[in-house]
Structure 1
Amino acid sequence: MLCRRFVVAVLLLGGVLTACSGSNPAEHFCDDYGDAVGKLYVAAGDYAVAPDQFAAVARSTMDELSRVRAGAPNDDLRRAFDSAYFSMTVFSEDDGLADFLVRTDFAHDDVVKACAEYGIELRPDAA
């Protein structure tokens, strides 16, 4: 009986150590979000000279964000995503979205702030 408890304890400890040594659960989600939205912020900065390029990036980013949201590992990151996503969907025209993104500090994006709480720093030029 003592031997069995020892084996169970060792197995549990091994599982805990493996879980603790694993990668940050938010890392993949945050990197995906940073890559997608970072491209959008960069394209917004070039909107005046390349509006068609911005439109293409905006379409592909919005399509990609559904997949990105599905990778959120917890409710906190999903809520941050939903808030940030809503901010980008209130604009019916590309020029309004581009203007908003140019005037917005990427560091204030809800997902960027949430990822920072996991020790992951995102930058708009990460693309």
Structure 2
Amino acid sequence: MTNFKDKAEGTALVAGGTAAGAGLSATIGGMGLVGGFGGVAIGAAPVTAAGAVVGAAAYGAKKAIDNQDLSALGAVAAGAVTGAGVSTIVGGMGLAVAGTAVGVGMAPVAAVGAVVGLAGYGLKKLFDKK
């Protein structure tokens, strides 16, 4: 029974994150990412997917704390290093939202990488057979 409850909780967090991402996209509207590679529009699908990633990361954080599982820190560290690597390769970027733009340096990209790593840990725990 506990396994079913855990799976339902994880599924609810991912679904809630997905809904929050869709709502955020609908509220804010047009966004774009600008860099040395040019500019690209960010529509509803990537923002909705980002919400799902955040929901999976929330589940991963909860499971890591509940189980006192230090392997989650490895996933976070690997994600952060990967994010820093992506920032190094891609270079200076900016996020354009509602007529204004902000610079995106290495720290925010590494932080996003850490969240993606934790989301991977959360999805692994969600699909574990145990």
Larger Rg: 1
Q: TM-score, normalised by structure 1?
A: 0.30
Whose RCO is larger (CA < 8 A, sep 6+)?
A: 1
Q: TM-score, normalised by structure 2?
A: 0.29
Higher helix share: 1
